Structure 1
Amino acid sequence: MRGRLSVPSHGPQPGERRITDRIVVLDQGRAAESDTFEELLDAGGIFAELYKFSQDR
């Protein structure tokens, strides 16, 4: 699986209520990022890239 990218098949939709306090992003089995949805997007890291990719589909 090396070099493969996994993208969640269902992410938050516009207008959908967010009920998660914290999201943990795993990279190669280790926690790479952990924060709220908005903070992870603002940070521009792995989560933001995956979210942008899922919205462009």
Structure 2
Amino acid sequence: MTSSPDKNNSDNINQEELNNICDECKQEDESVTQNLILTSYKICKSCRVSKTIFPL
């Protein structure tokens, strides 16, 4: 069986979203995926703490 082009395209987009790179500091961390699932923001644990303490 062959996959439809739309399915392959959506798989590529999902892989780009789950690349463990923080949107704030641009560093790679495994907590990025965890925070993406929990809060729907792609930020690492340290950026999340700093955003909680200093919410600007």
| TM norm structure 2 | 0.26
Higher relative contact order (CA 8 A, sep 6+): 1
Structure whose residues are more often helix by fraction = 2
Q: Which has the larger radius of gyration?
A: 2
